[in-house]
Chains A and B, each alone.
Chain A
Amino acid sequence: MRSDFTDFLRAVRGPLGAIALTMALGFLLVASISDEPVLAYRELLFANFDSLSNFALFLNRATPLVLIAVGITFAFRAGVFNVGGEGQLFAGAIATTVFSIVFSGLPAIVLFPLAIAAGILGGALLGWIPGVLKVRLGVDEVVVTFMLNTIALLFTSYLVNQVIRDTTAYGAVSWMVPEKIWLPTIPGIPGATSGFIIAAVLSLASWVVLFRTKWGAEVRAAGTNLRYAEAVGIAAGGRVIWAMLIAGGFAGLAGALYVLGIGHRFEQNFSPEYGLVALTCALLARIHPAAALFTSLYYAMMLNGAAYMQISTEVPRSLVDLLTGLLVLLMTARFTLRRRSGQTSGAF
């Protein structure tokens, strides 16, 4: 047990160090522009737990983050640097919305699963494109997923502005989805979507799939060394494409659950860059599905806390964007004292 514990400490040391360093730098920044840095940080970190409604908003914020981040762990474990979470999320959200509005006449028991499935398929389609391009042709997935983000955002903007726009509402929002298929809230926490429970369960299930099944081992083998995996008889290309389908599917599910559980319609500006933030969470969790649950909760706290901080201390909420940049920049760096790598011989 003791060695397990030291292993655990060793694993969390890096991410926690990066978080601590970033928060410390952020505190210095806040202290230099505000008279009340302590209050600002209290709001940033703990205002989420001041009331039950804040806590509900916190869980709602975490739900898409957890799902996208867990999906990204599948892609990364399969060796695909998927930065397309945002586009896959939008594809899922718009697919669920369009399906629910078009087939609103169906009974809830039929419509609900189909609407969710539409969202998952929408996201999975956007994950499939870079996956298949990478495996079959070797096209770089970072560029393709980034391009697909922009394409997906423009496409949803077209649909929500020209096709399914709620003409009675202000801004680019769609018609409401039928109330009969709204997700219920978590009992005891009014306003908190039960989608969070789904996300939490899926994050643990993903850990089992990736680390405790043969299929997961094959995905990870394909991600570590594709040609070796193929040489030992794994259909590695297929595993990689499946991992991308799952990554896209998770992000699509995040969009579907957002529409059915939180927004109840598609809003063009519903995402504060969930895709990139979830990528940050996944990387911070060292590509581990269960750890991604915790890093996503941390980030949900920061995202919502920023708003509370801005209200009570006038520190701009974009502080969190700035800190995210710092964190991503710092989190894979190794700050050990050593000689310049140029002077060391051998591999680095």
Chain B
Amino acid sequence: MSIESLLASVLEQSTPLVLAALAAMITLRANILNVAVEGMMLVAAFSAIAVGALTDSAFIGFWAGLAGAIFASLVFSTMTLRFGAGFIVAGLGINLLAAGGTLFALERYYNSPGGLRPIAFPDIWHVPEGSLSFIPVIGPAIEGQSIIVFLTVLAVPACWVFLYRTPTGAYLRAAGEDEHAARSAGIDVVRMKALAVTISGLLAGLAGTQLAMDKLHFFLPDMTAGRGFIGLAATLFGAGQPWMTAGAAVLFGFFGALGDRLQAFDIPAQFVLMLPYVAAILALALARWRIHVRNKPSKL
């Protein structure tokens, strides 16, 4: 096992997790626990593959993936903000609808309930092999990564700038911190929440598109496999701060990549696959425990 290939696989595994975590983070700052990231990712993955195969254009497939996830996020925000549905319930509804809807489409229109595997699928832009080999260690790890990996690296500071250095970001955080105070200050709380959900749709769309278009070039039912929830865990662990959140997501991605390596040894695959989920629960408990200890009144 070389360090370069481990690094490359950490990058690959982390990218959808970081994007999912940022998607959940933006809504968390508007005081919405967004469990719908999972469903939005699934819609994005499906529409990216379906449209990409249809038009034979990676470019159109990419945008179709984003559009699909944003559409799902609009359904989510309409149901919750306009019609007063509960955020968690409606989020679960989005997830179920995404899973059921894509499966229905597979069975009905593609006649293949097992998944959608186009014979030929256009590639999105990847860093060409051998172009960066002059940089030690990092160069080979970056080679072959897709454009979305770079967008993800940019997305973290972009989220930070948006939240902390723009007026809209400040309004959004205010709407999340104290709804009534924000409203009396003249902030349109509902619009801020809707904006947060839409941005989260965009980020979840990138995550789903990366998942489907980077290496695999096919869609499987339930291919997101709980990544939206791992992203949510990373957000809670990172307390909604962009850098902490991204760091936690990379950590979970590292466990995933490590899991792939450990399979070479005699550890049953199931235990290895469990690693990121166990890590997420332990990390959440640890993060809360730290706060708990800190807030404890000291003994006299």
Residues of A within 8 A of B (CB): 33, 81, 83, 129, 133, 136-140, 142-144, 146-148, 150-151, 154-155, 157-158, 161-162, 276, 279-280, 283, 316-335, 340-342, 345, 347-348
Q: Is the CB of B90 within 8 A of A151?
A: no
List A contacts of B147 (CB < 8 A). none
CB contacts under 8 Å to A, within B243-292, are 268, 270-271, 273-274, 277-278, 280-281, 284-285, 288-289, 292
CA distance A318 to B271 in the complex (A): 31
Residues of A within 8 A of B190 (CB): 340-342
Contact indicator B108/A328 (Cβ below 8 Å): no
Asked if B226 contacts A329 (CB within 8 A), the reply is no
Given known contacts A147-B229, A147-B233, A329-B90, is B103 in contact with A137 (CB within 8 Å)?
no
The 6 closest A-B pairs by CB, nearest first: A325-B97, A321-B100, A329-B93, A328-B93, A325-B96, A316-B107
A347: chain B residues at CB < 8 Å are 180
Q: Which bucket holds chain B's interface residue count?
A: 35 or more
Q: Could you give 27 example pairs across A and B, Cβ below 8 Å? A: A81-B88, A133-B285, A136-B292, A137-B292, A139-B288, A142-B35, A143-B284, A147-B229, A150-B225, A150-B277, A154-B273, A155-B270, A280-B96, A316-B108, A320-B100, A321-B99, A322-B97, A322-B103, A322-B104, A328-B93, A329-B85, A329-B90, A332-B84, A332-B85, A333-B85, A334-B83, A335-B83
The residue in chain B whose Cβ has the minimal distance to the Cβ of A155 is: B270
- Docked complex Cα distance between A326 and B98 (Å): 10
Contact status B281-A158, CB under 8 Å = no
Known: A143-B233, A162-B268, A342-B188. A325 touches B99 (CB 8 A): yes
When the two chains form their complex, are residues A144 and B281 in contact, meaning their CB atoms are under 8 A apart? yes
Chain A residues near B89: list those with CB within 8 A. 283, 328, 331-332
In the complex the two chains form, what is the Cα distance from A334 to B89 in whole Å? 13
With beta carbons under 8 angstroms apart, the residue of B84, B93, B284 that contacts A326 is B93
**Shortest Cβ distance from A179 into chain B, in angstroms?**
30
Known A144-B284, A151-B277, A341-B81; contact A329-B97, beta-carbon cutoff 8 A: yes
Indicate which residue in A148, A161, A341 contacts B281 across the interface (CB closer than 8 Å). A148
Contacts A139-B284, A143-B229; A151 near B96 (Cβ below 8 A): no
Q: Does B79 contact A (CB under 8 A)?
A: yes
Name 4 extra pairs, CB < 8 A, besides A143-B229, A146-B229: A129-B281, A139-B285, A333-B85, A341-B82
| Bound-complex Cα distance A323 to B97 (A) | 7
- Which residues of B are found within 8 Å of A342, using beta-carbon distances? 188-191
A281 CB → nearest B CB, Å? 13
B101 in contact with A322 (CB, 8 Å): yes
Contact of B97 with A147 in the complex, beta carbons under 8 Å: no
Residues on B with C-beta less than 8 A from A326 are 93, 97
If A81-B88, A147-B281 touch, does A321 touch B93 (CB 8 Å cutoff)? no
In the bound complex, residues from chain A placing their C-beta under 8 Å from that of B93 are 325-331
Is residue B170 contacting chain A, with contact meaning CB distance below 8 A?
Answer: no
- The answer to whether A140 and B84 have CB atoms under 8 Å apart is no
Nearest-CB residue, chain A, relative to B99: A321
A155 B84 Cβ-Cβ under 8 A: no
Contact of B100 with A322 in the complex, beta carbons under 8 Å: yes
The B contact surface, by secondary structure, is: helix
Task: Answer yes or no: B185 CB below 8 A from chain A CBs.
Answer: no
CA distance A140 to B100 in the complex (A): 26
**B280 contacts A147, C-beta separation under 8 Å:** yes
Measured between beta carbons, the chain B residues less than 8 angstroms from A33 are: 108
- Report the separation of the CA atoms of residues A136 and B188 in the bound assembly, to the nearest whole angstrom: 36
Q: How far, in angstroms, from A221 to B23 measured CA to CA in the complex?
A: 34
Of A142, A143, A327, chain B has the most CB atoms within 10 Å of the CB of: A143
Bound complex: CA A280 to CA B95 (Å)? 13
**Assembled-state Cα–Cα distance A342/B78 (Å):** 12
Instruction: Kindly name the residue among A280, A327, A329, A342 whose own CB sees the greatest number of chain B CB atoms within 10 A.
Output: A329
Could you tell me the distance in whole angstroms from the C-beta of B153 to the nearest C-beta in chain A?
A: 25
A340, B82: Cβ atoms closer than 8 Å: yes
In whole Å, how far is A63's beta carbon from the nearest beta carbon of chain B? 22
Bound state CA distance, A114 and B178, in angstroms?
Answer: 52
Q: Are A158 and B99 in contact (CB under 8 A)?
A: no
Known: A137-B285, A158-B268, A333-B90. A325 touches B229 (CB 8 A): no
Q: How far is the CA of A139 from the CA of B285 in the complex (A)?
A: 6
A146 in contact with B288 (CB, 8 Å): no
Partner of A150, one of B79, B84, B88, B226: B226
Cα of A331 to Cα of B80 in the assembled complex, Å:
11
Instruction: Tell whether B161 is near chain A: CB-to-CB under 8 Å.
Output: no
In the bound complex, how far is the Cα of B88 from the Cα of A279, in angstroms? 12
Please state if A158 and B271 are interface contacts (CB–CB under 8 Å): yes
Q: How far is the CB of A270 from chain B (nearest CB, A)?
A: 17
How far does the alpha carbon of A334 sit from the alpha carbon of B84 in the complex, in Å? 6
CB <8 Å contact, B104 and A319? yes
Which residues on B sit within 8 Å (CB–CB) of A327? 93
B270 touches A348 (CB 8 A): no
Which residues from chain A contact B289 at a C-beta distance below 8 Å? 137
B158 within 8 A of A: no
Closest chain-A Cβ to B215's Cβ sits at a distance in Å of 22
Q: Choose one: A129, A157, A331; the contact of B270 (CB below 8 Å).
A: A157
B113: CB under 8 A from chain A? yes
Given the known interface contacts A147-B280, A279-B92, A341-B190, the answer about A325 and B226 at a Cβ–Cβ threshold of 8 Å is no
Residue pair A328, B96 in contact (C-beta under 8 Å) = yes
Known contacts A329-B94, A341-B82; A318/B274 CB under 8 A: no
Chain B residue at minimal CB-CB distance from A326: B97
Report the minimum CB–CB distance from B271 to chain A (whole Å): 7
Residue contact B191 to A276, C-beta cutoff 8 Å: no
Residue in chain A with minimal CB distance to B36 = A329
Q: Considering residues A148, A158, A345, which has the most beta carbons from chain B within 10 angstroms of its beta carbon?
A: A158
Given contact pairs A137-B285, A143-B232, A276-B96, A325 touches B271 in the complex (Cβ within 8 A): no
**A283: B residues at CB distance < 8 A:** 89
